[in-house]
Amino acid sequence: MASDPTTRIYTIERVQHCDDQQRRHQLDDLLVIEEPMELRIDYAIAGKRASRSLAITMRTPGDDEDLARGFLLTEGIIASEADLVSLKRCTDGQGEESPNIWRATLAASCTFDPGKLQRNFYSTSSCGVCGKASLDALHHQGVMPVAPGPTLNAALLLQLPDLLRAAQATFDRTGGLHACALFNARGELLDLAEDVGRHNALDKLLGRALRRGELPLNDRILVLSGRASFELIQKSLVAGIGLVAAVGAPSSLAVDLSDTYAQTLVGFLRDARFNVYTHPARLT
């Protein structure tokens, strides 16, 4: 098995392939890389500096800095780029960078109380963590209902999944990644992120937007390659996104959350159709 660091893909050799005629032969296959990433945090408390491990997530390597930045934003640890003094890879005892361990140093003015954490931040590649603690945290972060923003032509919305799919370079080679993308009201693709975890892909996307000073994103359309879960809607609301469209189904909690915060939520956006679950006024 060999790794291609430029595309974050493994090549696994001599895999048995069986077709619909039950013919078997050997071939090479491409697999997306999945590795753990640990995020450590350095913060001020009671006039002193403290440090702790904050999260471990299974992710596709690449865009790790923006993944960490997006995670800190959407979990309410930071509210702006000014809350971060530095964000860099940790080093081992010999001064070498550890590729899977990152340290975020918070500004002294950034309030972080580990005693108020309702849960340990542990995310898997399949779904992430959500629940009542996350909903309470969203309210406590001061997240407000989404501003009205622009409207989008429904016929244009139908084209966005194909534009997203056409831009998924790594998915074309592996078939094993989730993706999310930001579009403007003219249907232009502005940014895209891929990851083995759908929540990681969104954190990468929002981390880049934070770094570029683009938040809030109330004039953007977020398109998800899969379903719309509670956690993804929670993250999108932190960024102020007004319209979320998913190729798959939304969950009941996702619909409730979008409705509460005046966000338009679209599901089953495929095969020239879609369902609008909340606040349809953004679609014409």
Q: What is the CB neighbour count within 10 angstroms for residue 161?
A: 20
CA dist 24 and 21 (Å) reads: 9
272 labeled part of a ligand binding site: yes
CATH number of the domain enclosing 270: 3.40.140.10
Q: Once rounded to an integer, what is the mean pLDDT over residues 113-124?
A: 52
Q: What is the mean pLDDT of the chain?
A: 83
Q: What is the pLDDT of residue 137?
A: 61
103 in a known ligand binding site: no
- Any known ligand binding at 52? no
Q: Is 273 annotated as a binding residue?
A: yes
The two beta strands, 178-183 and 189-195, are antiparallel
Strands 97-106 and 178-183: unpaired
198 in the same domain as 135: no
Please, is 156 exposed, middle or buried when counting C-beta atoms within 10 Å of its C-beta (0-12, 13-18, 19+)? middle
Give the residue numbers annotated as catalytic, written as ranges.
127
Q: Tell whether 178 and 264 lie within a shared domain.
A: yes
Consult the annotation and say whether 282 binds a ligand: no
**CB of 111 within 8 A of CB of 47?**
no
For residue 12, the tally of other CB atoms under 10 A from its CB is: 12
Average pLDDT over residues 192-214: 95
Question: Terminus-to-terminus CA distance in the chain, angstroms?
Answer: 50
Rounded to the nearest 5 degrees, what angle is found at the Cα of 272, between the Cα atoms of 189 and 283? Answer: 60
Residues 169 and 272 in one domain: yes
Domain containing residue 124: 35-140
Q: Which two tokens stand for residue 170?
A: 């790594």
Q: How far apart are CA 210 and CA 79, in angstroms?
A: 9
What tens digit of pLDDT does each residue of 210-224 get?
A: 999 999 999 999 999
Residue 269 in marked binding region: yes
**Residue scoring higher pLDDT (94 or 240):** 240
SS3 per residue for the chain = CEEECCCCEEEEEEEEEECCCCCEEEEEEEEECCEEEEEEEEEEECCEEEEEEEEEEEECCCCHHHHHHHHHHHCCCCCCHHHEEEEEEEECCCCCEEEEEEEEEECCCCCCCHHHCCCCEEECCCCCCCCHHHHHHHHHCCCCCCCCCCCECHHHHCCHHHHHHHCCHHHHHHCCCEEEEEECCCCCEEEEEEECCHHHHHHHHHHHHHHCCCCCCCCCEEEECCCECHHHHHHHHHCCCCEEEECCCECHHHHHHHHHCCCEEEEEEECCEEEEEECHHHEC
Residues 186 and 108 placed together within one structural domain of the fold: no
Whether 201 and 261 map to the same domain: the answer is yes
126 and 160 assigned to the same domain = no
The answer to whether residue 216 sits within a structural domain is yes
> Based on the domain organization, do 8 and 119 belong to the same domain?
no
Total count of domains within the chain: 3
Choose the weakest-confidence range: 18-32, 95-109, 145-159, 178-192.
Answer: 18-32
Question: Based on the domain organization, do 82 and 53 belong to the same domain?
Answer: yes
Specify the pLDDT at position 125.
38
Last residue of a domain, one of 96, 117, 140: 140
Most confident of 34-48, 113-127, 174-188: 34-48
14 Cβ contact list (under 8 Å, min separation 6): 26, 27, 28
Q: Are residues 126 and 223 in the same domain?
A: no
My answer on whether 173 and 184 are in the same domain is yes
Query: Do 56 and 17 reside in the same domain of the chain?
Result: no
Please tell me the least confidently modeled range out of 159-163, 166-170, 182-186, 224-228.
Answer: 166-170
Of 91, 109, 140, the residue that ends a domain is 140
pTM recorded for the entire structure:
0.85
State the CB neighbour count (10 A cutoff) for residue 174: 20
* Judgement on whether residues 261 and 224 belong to the same structural domain of the protein: yes
Q: Distance (Å, rounded) from C-alpha 117 to C-alpha 124?
A: 19
